[in-house]
Amino acid sequence: MVTIKQIADLCGVSRGTVDRVINERGNVKPKTKELVLSMAKELGYKPNPAGKALSARKK
């Protein structure tokens, strides 16, 4: 399973930047957004359902 950290390392950006791109939050440069999305697609990134459930419970 591919993680946000792996995508961030390969793209040369922070985990926060990858999180903002994937969850469509905050401002990210279009070029960076395109790079992160293409890398995520290439690697077959899929959000972890358990992680989403934990995050939703915090709110």
Mean pLDDT of the 18-39 span:
95
Mean pLDDT of the 31-45 span:
97
- Looking at 3.40.50.300, 3.40.1010.10, 3.40.50.12780, 1.10.260.40, the CATH number of the domain 4-58 comes to 1.10.260.40
- For residues 48 and 5, which has the higher predicted lDDT (pLDDT)? 5
pLDDT of residue 58: 66
Domain segments of the chain as ranges = 4-58
Mean pLDDT of the 13-35 span:
95
Is 80 exceeded by the pLDDT of residue 23? Answer: yes
For 27-46, b where at least 16 C-beta lie within 10 A, e where not — what string?
A: ebeeebbebbbebbeeeebe
